[in-house]
Amino acid sequence: MDNFEGKVAVITGAGSGFGREFARLGAKLGMRLVLADVQQDALDETFAEVSAAGAQGIARRVDVAKGEEIDALARATLDAYGGVHLVFNNAGVGGSGGLVWESTERDWQWLLGVNLWGVIHGVRVFTPLMLDAAKRDAGYRGHIVNTASMAGMLNPPMMGPYNVSKHAVVSLTESLYQDLSLVTQQVACSVLCPYFVPTGIAKAYRNRPSELTNDAPPTLSQRVSRALSEKAVSSGKVSAQEIAGRVFDAIREEQFYIFSHPHVLGAVKTRAEDIVMPRNPTDPFAERPEVRVQIIEALKG
């Protein structure tokens, strides 16, 4: 896909971070936008901004963990524009870190509900619409971008539920790529694997549903993990705006893997070598042992 003018883009998590930047760039490219987010005020801000820039669009408050709300988003898209060309399954949350056995059932439900089921619902609902459009129009081109993470390629400590959710998104998207190749050349897909980029994900607990909130306070390891995550995300040097530009370039080129920090692929290679040799997982702090010492001391309280 190399012409975005007049095309329809559905963006989940549009209220902040990558989602807002996808919307801003889509507006500049003359796209018609369908914006979705669970946080109404943030969604309203994005919608007001792109509308002021002249973009045509609609906005809907959506909890991506609920399949019926993604179904309703698809109906709203068809009612407004009759079809869809780009789908950004982008909504995601962080948090619920700490030692993996300390994550509660509610922690797992929240993380997997948004990060994994949100993408599953997006693929399940929108892919058939795109395939139908392709059958009806030989000139149709569609593209799906699923937001994962470098945590979908690696397994950093004290991020268990997040790692699991993002590995699953990578697997889902690779499966989608292979399945699409069997039935069409008109619909493509990509997986976005960002490293530490300053977005609002480190504070995503602000939108955690009350029914999935823990009764007990966070454990020591969870507090340590949250502090480390907020520091790492806020210190990122690559902006969400830059990543949005790379994503649209990848769509033009039908590039599947999209990485924000290619230098981290060295660690991915090491993990792959661990698997095929085989050997035990490499220490992620091998080059910075003082970090491991600091974390161990912090976990002692």
| Mean pLDDT of the region 152-165 | 96
In terms of Cβ atoms closer than 10 Å to its own Cβ (0-12, 13-18, 19+), residue 200 is buried
| CA contacts within 13 A on the Cβ side of 291 | 11
Q: Where in the chain are the domains?
A: 8-299
Angle at 39 between CA 65 and CA 229, to 5 degrees: 80
Task: Report the 10 Å Cβ neighbour count for 49.
Answer: 14
Partner residues linked to 8 by β-bridges = 32
d(CA 121, CA 140) in angstroms, rounded, equals 23
Q: What is residue 202's predicted lDDT score, i.e. its pLDDT?
A: 62
Percentage of the chain with pLDDT > 70?
A: 99
Return phi, psi of residue 103, to 5°.
-70, 130
* Active-site residue identified among 81, 140, 162, 195: 162
Q: Flag whether pLDDT at 131 surpasses 80.
A: yes
Q: Flag whether pLDDT at 290 surpasses 70.
A: yes
pLDDT tens-digit map of 5-17 = 999 999 999 999 9
Average pLDDT of the chain?
95
| Mean pLDDT of the region 120-125 | 98
Q: What is residue 287's predicted lDDT score, i.e. its pLDDT?
A: 87
Among candidates 89, 83, 180, which has minimal Cα distance to 133?
83
Q: What is residue 274's predicted lDDT score, i.e. its pLDDT?
A: 98
The answer to whether 257 is a known catalytic residue is: no
CA-CA-CA-CA dihedral for 18, 153, 189, 46, to nearest 10: -10
Partner residues linked to 144 by β-bridges = 87, 189
| Mean pLDDT of the region 224-230 | 89
Q: How confident is the model at residue 301 (pLDDT cuts 50, 70, 90)?
A: confident
pLDDT tens-digit map of 40-93 = 999 999 999 999 999 999 999 999 999 999 999 999 999 999 999 999 999 999
Q: Flag whether pLDDT at 197 surpasses 70.
A: yes
Residue type at position 36 = A
Q: What is residue 235's predicted lDDT score, i.e. its pLDDT?
A: 77
Is the CB of residue 191 less than 8 Å from the CB of residue 173?
A: yes
Q: What is residue 173's predicted lDDT score, i.e. its pLDDT?
A: 99
Instruction: Please write down the HEC assignment for all residues of the chain.
Output: CCCCCCCEEEEECCCCHHHHHHHHHHHHCCCEEEEEECCHHHHHHHHHHHHHCCCEEEEEECCCCCHHHHHHHHHHHHHHHCCCCEEEECCCCCCCCECHHHCCHHHHHHHHHHHHHHHHHHHHHHHHHHHHHHHHCCCCCEEEEEECCHHHCCCCCCEHHHHHHHHHHHHHHHHHHHHHHHHCCCEEEEEEECCCCCCCHHHHHHHCCHHHCCCCCCCHHHHHHHHHHHHHHHCCCCCHHHHHHHHHHHHHHCCCEEECCHHHHHHHHHHHHHHHCCCCCCCCCCCCHHHHHHHHHHHCC
| Mean pLDDT of the region 275-280 | 97
| Mean pLDDT of the region 190-213 | 85
The first and second tokens of residue 298, run together, are 């912090």
Domain 8-299 has CATH 1.10.230.10: no
Is the CB of residue 261 less than 8 Å from the CB of residue 242?
A: no
pTM of the model: 0.95
